[in-house]
Structure 1
Amino acid sequence: MNDLHYTNERQILILISLLKAYGIRKIIASPGATNVTFIGSVQQDDFFEIYSCVDERSAAYMACGLAIECGEPIVLTCTGATSSRNYLPGLTEAYYRKLPILAITSTQLTERVGHLIAQVIDRSTAPNDTTQLSVYLPIIKDENDVWISQLRINQALLALKRHGGGPVHINLETSYSCDFSIKQLPKAHVINRITVHDEFPTFPDGNVAVFVGSHKIWTKEETEALDRFCSSHNAVVFCDHTSGYKGKYRFLSALVKAQYYNQPLLPKIETLIHIGEVSGDYYTLGISANQIWRVSEDGELRDTFKKLHYVFEMPEKVFFSHYTTSKAGDDSFLNLCKKAYDKTYNHIPDLPFSNIWIAQQLAPRLPEYSVIHLGILNTLRSWNFFEIPTSVLSYSNVGGFGIDGGMSSLIGASLANPNKLYFGILGDLAFFYDMNVIGNHNVGHNVRIMLVNNGRGTEFRNYNHMANMFGNDADTFIAAAGHNGNKSKSLVKHYAEDLGFEYISASSKEEFNIVYSKFLQTEITNKPILFEVFTDSRDESDALQAVSTCLKSAKNELYEKMVDTTKKMLGGSSKTASAIYHKLKS
């Protein structure tokens, strides 16, 4: 026995480590082979108090009695086969009495379910009134499995006492390892949930930023609370056009974070406060921070950045007000961010005629107090590079992140305020997918739609997209090129005019500059307007590459010269040159 310690199965080591971190020590064990790796490990650790019960039905009821008497969470552990089914009566009792019982049911590989393998049953669902939460812990194969295991265990252990408490289920996969040689548990990552009734943790030192995903309309009081917080912590608010935040500390971060060569423009963040929902700003989602504090009334563990430390289950205004101090006036971080943006913007070269170029021209010129809806994905990314007037509200369907309803959302929103202008910018696949909505007889004269028609899903032809390795072959199926009239100059024109729209179009910068003022005119005209802009996917890709590489070091420029020289020597093969470039860079 002296040579036996903990199992080498990492998912079990993390589970045991977190049980100890949460102070959960009482275990009622039922016999079996599938839970040997778990029970064989905890019985070597004198932190745990372990009791034996052969009958799993009795074990679950014992846990109920022990939990109510000592006021602590109680762990149940059993093997495979029907053992876990015998927990159900006791877990039902625990559910209706809100008793913190953690049922850990060990299992063979779950892919064996349904294949007539002995002692393998399907535990993927449980009766609604037997558990607050059920999670599955697979055998760990890589670091992503480590992350998801830690996250799920934290979710499970927090759920034992959440909203009054109740039973929780962990389905624990095992490989039946016979290696019990691990002498020290890993230091597992603990995530804490804080409610308004709990003691708030001390706010850490170091640089602070707030990341806002898509967000409901801000009230004046919410904006002021965030502004006061930022003022007292020298913080900045990373935004995109779905964030909705228009306060003093707004920083449209995508252009700076997109820079391939110069990421150190911004300092390392110690604490990132994460609010809002899904974000389409992929560049800022890659931000580096030592720890993440999530603030949301739902209280769920949304570990977007994989460094979640705290979840504050409360309104954002309550959180920001609590951590606002009397110290104020230092805006050096905000000023640094603004300088980084200005420096990057001033280095943007003359861009090809593209969605990004259009955004650069129109974003600052949008009429005051108008609303803009941006399509997924190229359009939203393009417009996130450029700031819009403070009074303009902006939205995108980043919840489901599909192309299927952007125009319908625009039309629906426009019905709320017939005297306000509503703009929509969409690519051709998104437009044709949702085109039936502009035939609705409720479409008002306050609607302005821009169709950026490059004849395909240009996302898949971008220089940095994996599908670009197929070259022109990507068009056939992946980018779905050639549909919907294949950039017909008359198809949308006739459709729009027959539906009562005023139609304008442009195929070049010169044509665009002649007609765009009609699209932006501040008065509501006697017809809605549809502006079709014809671009080329190569120009779209080149524009994205240009705007993402505005700032280059001397070393990077040397690399590019070497690649250009090699490209000429090889007869202009862009694929070969790109491969050589990345080889040189690495």
Structure 2
Amino acid sequence: MALLSPLYSVADICASWGVEDVIICPGSRSAALTLAFNRNGQFRTKVITDERSAAFVGLGLAQQSGKPVVLICTSGTAVLNFAPAVTEAFFQKVPLLILSADRPPEWINQYDGQTIYQSKAFGKHIVKDYDFPADYTHPDAVWSIERQTNEALAHCRKGPVHINIPIREPFYPLPEEKYEGKGRYIPFAKFSQQVQLAEEQVKEWSEAKSILVAIGQNTKDLEEDLARLVQDNRVILLVDVISNVGLEKKITSHDLFLSQSGSKFDLLVTLGKSFISKTLKQFFRKNPPRVHWHVEEENNILDPFQSITVRFPLSTTDFLKALPISEVSTPSDIWIAEEKKTKAHIENFISKAPFGELKATATIFEKVESKEVLHLGNSMPVRYGNLLQGFLKPQIKVYSNRGTSGIDGIVSTAIGQALGTEQRVHCIVGDISFFYDSNALFAAKPKNLKVYVIQNGGGNIFRIIDGPSKQAELEQYFITPQNRSAEHLAKEAGFRYYRVSTQEELEDALNQKEDVAALFEIIVDGVEDAKIFKHLKSSLIL
């Protein structure tokens, strides 16, 4: 057996588990892993030098495919640069398998180069972590490596998993060595069982006169089950833009009208992960429902509304299929009139609004076609997106990194999504977020990627939220003004570049349907945008 064969078997086991994509960050200590996955022949490999950007590209690929994506890096601080994306994956439960090459343990803290404490590097932000043995010659070590690899891939169903791999020299195979990478695949048996609600929950469901089903971040296809659910006239759906629910009968304008509503539901059912809407969370904290069910395959009690009475550790699909639907129930009209009036208010307001971020976002939304992908940056883009859901066509897949809601890695994630689909991927991102992640442009240039940079000269959200907007230090310490242009970055990376500052210029640019990677820099006035946003909210009268 060649010295590095046990590491080659890791690649074979990953292929058996259905892994298709591997992101490789170059390094010498990790050479055996790089060669193993490249020579295996069953993977799409992508080489990216910036580990922070690389990990977010992997995140986007995994979001798009739903399958584990392997991230490979060398020893030292390289693995720490994966941390922001791994943390995002942890809170979104996105499958990543991190393989970090390391020095043998006796060399840690001995002034040896590229040597840090890598074991358990991600702390609590990892589903599971493993350490391979440092020597591979004994059969027990080979057994351990193969067992841990299979177990790690099984745990990947719930989010990121880290395997730290000590590797001794020599790192590279000798010329006469053959690539032998057959690993022991240990699959987990699949089984299914019919879910039935307990008698007490059936009673709560049956007696409720009004039921709100609120769906947070979700990428699963729930259309069929939800279409059946809304046949029950008591049920009203409420969704965020990242809920990915295309049914017409739903509440989408809650961010605007909830502050003026006092209506309460008998039963609240929450599905999915995080909600964008702070207004929604605050509403239910102040107006808790009589009964609140939360559904999620999660052992922890996640209760941002502070009102859960029962939790269901089930898949959303199993839960929805178990509900007893009443097709002869009395209709509930709670929030229906408010939704209709608020949507009309938004459409009328935007038709008359001057050019700015609000109007530009609505215009982009109208140009995104069904089945295409939309990635919304954090801070203002995702908030505008939540208000403007009505401008999107059905069957558009919407993503946003709302696991941690950070501004880092947004463009990198969208690039990963573009690498994982043939559909166009549209990424709307603020200027600060874009420049923070500008290395992403050099990671890959998918021809189906369109990036829209909202250029308002700084972090405009701080002009809108109450706290910082009232402080004397607003501009210098919160807005952090900048006067950079994305033009040279875009052209250096080979992106088609458009600079727009009017509604007509934006529409002309969006009508260019070239099959090339493109970046649109949209010049708006941040001060005026803040006034427009506040006026949109304050001018609604129910």
Cα distance in 1 between the residues matched to 2:329 and 2:209: 16
Aligned-partner Cα distance in 2 for 1:337–1:328: 24
SS at match of 1:353: coil
Identity over the aligned pairs, expressed in percent? 21
Counterpart-to-counterpart distance in 1, 2:531 and 2:305: 30
Q: CA deviation at 1:468?
A: 0.8
Instruction: Give the corresponding residue for 1:212.
Output: 215
Q: Tell whether the 8 Å contact from 1:235 to 1:249 is kept in structure 2 after alignment.
A: no
Q: Deviation per CA, 1:78-129, whole angstroms, max 9, x where unpaired? A: xxxxxxxxxxxxxxxxxxxxxxxxxxxxxxxxxxxxxxxxxxxxxxxxxxxx
After TM superposition, give the deviation of residue 337 of structure 1 in Å. Answer: 5.7
Instruction: Name the structure 1 match of 2:67.
Output: none
Match of 1:501 in 2: 495
1:216 and 1:328 mapped to 2: Cα distance? 31
Aligned-residue offset at 1:244: 1.3
Structure 1 residues 329 and 450: alpha-carbon distance in aligned structure 2, compared to 1, 3 A threshold: farther
Q: In 2 relative to 1, CA 504–347 (structure 1 residues): closer, same or farther, beyond 3 Å? A: closer
**Greater mean alpha carbon deviation, residues 422-431 or residues 303-312:** 303-312
SS at match of 1:515: helix
Matched, 1:543 2:532: yes
In the alignment, which residue of structure 2 is the partner of 1:426? 429
Over the aligned positions, Cα root-mean-square deviation in angstroms equals 2.4
Q: Do residues 391 (structure 1) and 385 (structure 2) align?
A: no
Paired position in structure 2 for 1:444: 446
Q: 1:276 aligns with which of 267, 272, 275?
A: 272
Shift of residue 427, structure 1, vs aligned partner:
0.2
Distance 1:270 1:232 in 2: 15
The corresponding residue for 1:373 is 375
Q: Taking structure 1 as reference, are residues 302 and 254 closer, same or farther at Cα in structure 2, changes over 3 Å only?
A: same
Letter in 2 for 1:263: S
Give, in whole Å, the separation in 1 of the partners of 2:341 and 2:458: 34
2:273 aligned counterpart, secondary structure: coil
For the structure 1 residues 341 and 332, does the alpha-carbon distance in structure 2 shift closer, same or farther, using more than 3 Å as the test? farther
Query: Does the CA contact (< 8 Å) of 1:407 and 1:437 recur in 2?
Result: yes
Task: Pick the aligned partner of 1:460 from 443, 447, 462.
Answer: 462
Instruction: Tell me, yes or no, if the aligned pair for 1:459 and 1:465 is still in contact at 8 Å.
Output: no
| AA matched with 2:501 | S
The structure-2 alpha-carbon separation of the partners of 1:242 and 1:346, relative to structure 1 and needing over 3 Å to count, comes to closer
Higher RCO (CA 8 Å, separation ≥ 6 residues): 2
Specify every segment of 5 or more residues in structure 2 that has no aligned partner in the other structure, as ranges. Answer: 1-194
Cα separation, partners in 2 of 1:355 and 1:409, compared to 1, 3 Å: same
The residue number in structure 1 matching 2:305 is: 305
Q: Give how far 1:302 is off.
A: 1.4
1:292–1:305 contact (8 Å) kept in structure 2 = no
Unaligned 5+ segments in structure 1 are: 1-194, 554-586
SS of 2:470 mapped into structure 1: helix
Following TM superposition, by how much is the alpha carbon of 1:196 offset from its aligned partner in structure 2, in angstroms? 5.4
Separation in structure 1 between the aligned mates of residue 254 and residue 419 of structure 2, nearest angstrom: 31
1:448 shift after superposition: 0.2
Is contact 1:213–1:276 with CA below 8 Å preserved after alignment? yes
Cα pair distance change 1:298/1:233, threshold 3 Å: farther
Change (3 A) 1:197 1:469: closer
Cα pair distance change 1:268/1:446, threshold 3 Å: same
Give SS of 2:242's match: coil
Offset, 1:323: 2.4
Task: State the distance in 1 between where 2:372 and 2:381 align.
Answer: 18
User: C-alpha distance in 1, partners of 2:317/2:279?
Assistant: 27
Q: Distance in 2 between matches of 1:346 and 1:413?
A: 30
TM-score calculated relative to the size of structure 2: 0.58
CA 1:340–1:284 in structure 2 vs 1: closer, same or farther (change >3 Å)? farther
- What TM-score results when the alignment is normalised by the length of structure 1? 0.54
1:515 has 2:509 as partner? yes
8 A Cα contact 1:196 1:314, kept in partner: no
Q: CA deviation at 1:331?
A: 5.9
Structure 1 residue 335, shift from structure 2 partner: 5.2
Q: Deviations over 1:215-246 (max 9, x none)?
A: 1322xxx4322222222242121111111122
> Aligned ranges for residues 62-77 of structure 1 at < 5 Å?
none
The residue type equivalent to 2:441 in the other structure is I
In the alignment, is residue 363 of structure 1 matched against residue 365 of structure 2? yes
Q: Please tell me whether the aligned partners of residues 445 and 495 of structure 2 are also in contact (alpha carbons under 8 angstroms).
A: no
The one-letter code sitting in structure 1 at the alignment partner of 2:520 is F
The answer to whether structure 1 residue 529 and structure 2 residue 529 are counterparts is no
Instruction: Check 1:374–1:234 CA distance in 2 against 1; reply closer, same or farther (3 A cut).
Output: same
Please identify, of 406-415 and 225-234, the stretch whose mean Cα deviation from structure 2 is larger: 225-234
Moved over 4 A (4+): 195-200, 328-332
What does the per-residue CA deviation read over 1:255-280, in whole Å, with 9 as the maximum and x for residues that have no partner?
5436x5x435xx42221101111121
Counting only pairs closer than 5 Å after superposition, residues 191-206 of structure 1 correspond to structure 2 as 198-201=198-201, 202=203, 203=205, 204-206=207-209
Residue by residue, what CA displacement relative to the aligned partner does 1:171-193 show, whole Å, maximum 9, x if unpaired? xxxxxxxxxxxxxxxxxxxxxxx
Q: CA deviation at 1:355?
A: 1.8
Counterpart Cα distance in 2 of 1:548 and 1:517: 31
Matches within 5 A, 1:31-430: 198-201=198-201, 202=203, 203=205, 204-218=207-221, 222-257=222-257, 262-263=260-261, 267-288=263-284, 289-290=288-289, 291-328=291-328, 333=333, 336=337, 338-348=339-349, 350-386=352-388, 387=390, 388-417=392-421, 419-430=422-433
Alignment check: 8 A CA contact 1:255 1:344 kept: no
Aligned counterparts of 1:511 and 1:283: Cα–Cα separation in 2: 34
CA distance in 1, matches of 2:254, 2:539: 13
1:474 aligns with 2:485: no
Indicate how the Cα distance of structure 1 residues 227 and 287 shifts in structure 2: closer, same or farther if over 3 A, else same: farther
* 2:477 partner SS: coil
Matches within 5 A, 1:550-565: 550-552=539-541
Instruction: Tell me how far apart the structure 1 counterparts of residues 385 and 264 of structure 2 sit (CA, whole Å).
Output: 26
Judge conservation of contact 2:431–2:453 (CA < 8 Å) in 1. yes
Structure 1 residues 398 and 445: CA distance shift in structure 2, 3 A:
same
**3-state DSSP class of the match of 1:420?**
coil
Q: Could you tell me which residue of structure 1 aligns to residue 34 of structure 2? A: none
Residue 331 and residue 346 in structure 1: after superposition, are their counterparts in 2 closer, same or farther (change >3 A)?
farther
